[in-house]
């Protein structure tokens, strides 16, 4: 047999195998929502721009509707796009959609453990414990508000040291946001010059960028292959190990000085919990370590990224900054620190903060969900496959523009819009929502009470689109000046 004949036989065999696999997959995943036809192995990835994945998925929802099937490589994923379908899924059927979908960038480290990536009864027990413990240490209360106000003054002091010269705010904002969660989890804050602290923040910032990069998207799409391919995506796992090592050191420090009559932080409470025989089946020291890393990561990155993106937006829109200054001067004045009681009298500031969260959309797809069992939903059968969610542009009059009036009524009063789900919804709603809201309000108003923002270019030339858009919308790096008022 000549070479061409052998090649034809091989091609026929390969094609037959592919057709057989496609037939098996259709049988296994029958009655999924409609969607673009996938190709073998690559799925629908040829139909999207990996650097602008969110934009591509939104365009597909315009063709296939608010619920469609998209193949990440060989894995089907159900995309939910729009407020109505998200409400039906995450709120009306909260229990059924409370599962956690595959997230390969972290799965190798978390192994389904911890408060973000866990599932089942262990996760439910852990979430109840975490909420109760964090509340006991002041989350959502005035005592923690005072701590945030104190940290805001540390942040202002660092900003004053820039003396009006250009600087990148990334690590200043990361330090401030991280120190709040550190107070709850580790019982103390860190100095902004602490080398170990800055190294940890660099690990978190690096992982956030990597998970949203092209490499991160390839890992998400082809996990079994990419885990063996060299590249920067492999740093994600290594960085998590370094964060976990720091947490283990803190756990040992707490263990050596543990006093059940004097609980200092979240770790102390967890150590005491581990001593209780009744909960050993539900939680372990590994669970404690991974939960602490989850809290440290989420509490550091989401608030700081939102503020960093928000300041860049204000540099692009000086007219918005001017209105914020006016409201801050009128309600708070120059002689006292902002507090949460001010928020109800500052509708424009509240609207701007909500619009920053909507426009920046820091975690545009959320962390993947999955159903806890096969269910019927909107006439389709949803098996345990990843489900990802997106905000609904139809609920806002100018969805592609930064417009604070999205959250103001005709009389200038703040108007809530349920279509904004910045902290997700349902059983997986972010447990730090109240904490994040306090941080965003107090940090932003403190900055604008003390400083004017000065861009290094014409505001009209400032690009406020994200640098990359994957798991997160990563704000572009920038420098600016802060001029004392």
Domain boundaries, the chain: 31-484
CA–CA distance, 414 with 409 (Å, rounded to integer): 6
pLDDT tens column, 30-71: 789 999 999 988 899 889 887 777 788 888 998 999 999 999
On the question of pLDDT at 7 being above 50, the answer is: no
Q: Which residues contact 295 (CB under 8 A, 6 or more apart)?
A: 115, 130, 181, 184, 185, 266, 432
Global confidence as pTM: 0.89
| pLDDT tens digits, 14-26 | 443 444 444 444 5
Whether pLDDT at 388 is above 70: no
pLDDT of residue 371: 86
Query: Tell me, what's the pLDDT at 464?
Result: 96
> What's phi and psi for 466, nearest 5 deg?
-70, 155
Q: Which residues is 473 bridged to in the sheet?
A: 469
CA angle 110, 254, 179 (to 5 degrees): 70
- The more confident residue out of 468 and 162 is 162
pLDDT over threshold 60, residue 178: yes
Q: What is the pLDDT of residues 94-108, one digit of tens each?
A: 999 888 877 777 877
- Ranked by mean pLDDT, the top range of 9-13, 102-106, 381-385, 409-413 is 409-413
| Cα-based distances in Å from 395 to 92, 262, 349 | 19, 49, 21
Query: Per-residue pLDDT tens for 440-485?
Result: 999 999 999 999 999 999 999 999 999 888 778 889 999 999 999 9
> CB-based contacts of 40: which residues, under 8 Å, 6+ apart?
18, 21, 22, 74
Show the tokens assigned to 227: 């885990």
Tokens of 425: 């919804």
Residue 169: C-alpha distances to residues 80, 297, 308, 343, 476 (Å):
35, 18, 7, 25, 12
Beta strands in 93-143 (DSSP E): 99-100
Q: Check residue 392 and give its pLDDT.
A: 67
Could you read off the pLDDT of 327-354 as tens digits, one per residue? 999 999 999 999 999 999 999 999 999 9
Residue-averaged pLDDT of the chain: 87
Highest mean pLDDT among 185-194, 379-388, 394-403: 185-194
CATH topology classification for 31-484: Cytochrome p450 (1.10.630)
- Percentage with pLDDT > 90 across the chain: 50
451-454 and 75-81 strand pairing:
unpaired
- The answer to whether the beta carbons of residues 282 and 122 sit under 8 Å apart is yes
Closest CA to 458 of 280, 292, 306, 318: 318
339 is in an annotated binding site: no
> How confident is the model over 425-429, as a mean pLDDT?
87
Distance CA 53, CA 473 (A): 10
Instruction: Tell me what pLDDT residue 152 has.
Output: 98
| pLDDT reported for residue 256 | 93
Task: Render pLDDT for 281-314 as a digit per residue (tens, 0 to 9).
Answer: 556 778 888 999 999 998 898 899 999 999 999 9
pLDDT for residue 13 is more than 90 = no
pLDDT band at 132 (very low <50, low <70, confident <90, very high): confident
Q: Which of 309, 362, 390 is nearest to 54 (CA)?
A: 390
Dihedral (CA of 376, 377, 378, 380) sign:
negative
User: Burial level of 206, CB count in 10 A (0-12/13-18/19+)?
Assistant: middle
């Amino acid at each position: 047999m000549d070479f061409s004949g052998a090649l034809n036989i091989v091609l026929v065999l390969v094609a037959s195998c592919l057709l057989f696999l496609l037939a098996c997959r259709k049988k296994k995943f029958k009655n999924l929502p409609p969607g673009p036809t996938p190709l073998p192995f690559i799925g629908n990835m040829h139909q999207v721009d990996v650097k602008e994945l969110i934009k591509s998925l939104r365009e597909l929802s315009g063709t296939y509707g608010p619920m469609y099937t998209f193949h990440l490589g060989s894995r089907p994923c159900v995309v939910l796009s729009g407020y109505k379908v998200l409400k039906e899924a995450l709120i009306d059927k909260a229990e059924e959609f409370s599962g956690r979908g595959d997230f390969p960038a972290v799965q190798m480290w978390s192994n389904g453990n911890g408060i973000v990536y866990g599932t089942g009864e262990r996760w439910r027990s852990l979430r109840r414990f975490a909420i109760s413990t964090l509340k006991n240490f002041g989350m959502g209360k005035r005592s923690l508000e005072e701590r945030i106000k104190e940290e805001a003054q540390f942040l202002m002091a660092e900003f004053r040291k820039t003396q009006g010269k250009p600087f990148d705010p990334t690590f200043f904002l990361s330090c401030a946001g991280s120190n709040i969660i550190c107070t709850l989890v580790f019982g103390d804050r860190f100095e902004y010059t602490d080398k170990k602290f800055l190294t940890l923040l660099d690990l978190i910032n690096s992982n956030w960028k990597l998970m949203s990069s092209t490499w991160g998207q390839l890992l998400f799409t082809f996990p079994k292959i990419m885990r063996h391919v060299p590249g920067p995506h492999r740093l994600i796992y290594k960085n998590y190990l370094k964060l976990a090592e720091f947490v283990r050191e803190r756990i040992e420090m707490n263990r050596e000085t543990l006093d059940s009559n004097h609980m200092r932080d979240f770790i102390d409470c967890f150590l005491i919990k581990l001593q209780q025989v009744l909960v050993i089946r539900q939680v372990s020291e590994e669970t404690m370590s991974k939960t602490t890393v989850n809290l440290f990561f989420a509490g550091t990155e989401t608030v700081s990224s939102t503020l960093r993106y928000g300041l860049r937006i204000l540099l692009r829109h000086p007219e918005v900054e001017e209105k914020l200054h006016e409201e801050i001067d009128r309600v708070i004045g120059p002689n006292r620190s902002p507090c949460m009681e001010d928020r109800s009298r500052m509708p424009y500031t509240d609207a701007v903060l909500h619009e920053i969260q909507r426009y920046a959309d820091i975690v545009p797809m959320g962390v993947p969900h999955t159903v806890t069992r096969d269910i019927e939903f909107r006439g389709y059968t949803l098996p345990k496959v990843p489900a990802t969610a997106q905000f609904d542009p139809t609920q806002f009059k100018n969805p592609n523009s930064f417009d604070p009036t999205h959250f103001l009524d005709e009389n200038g009063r703040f108007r809530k819009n349920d279509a904004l789900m910045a902290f997700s919804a349902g059983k997986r709603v972010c447990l730090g929502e109240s904490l994040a809201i306090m941080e965003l309000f107090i940090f932003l108003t403190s900055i604008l009470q003390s400083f004017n923002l000065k861009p290094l270019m014409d505001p009209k030339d400032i690009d406020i689109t994200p640098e990359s858009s994957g798991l997160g919308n990563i704000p572009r790096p920038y420098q600016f000046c802060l001029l004392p008022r």
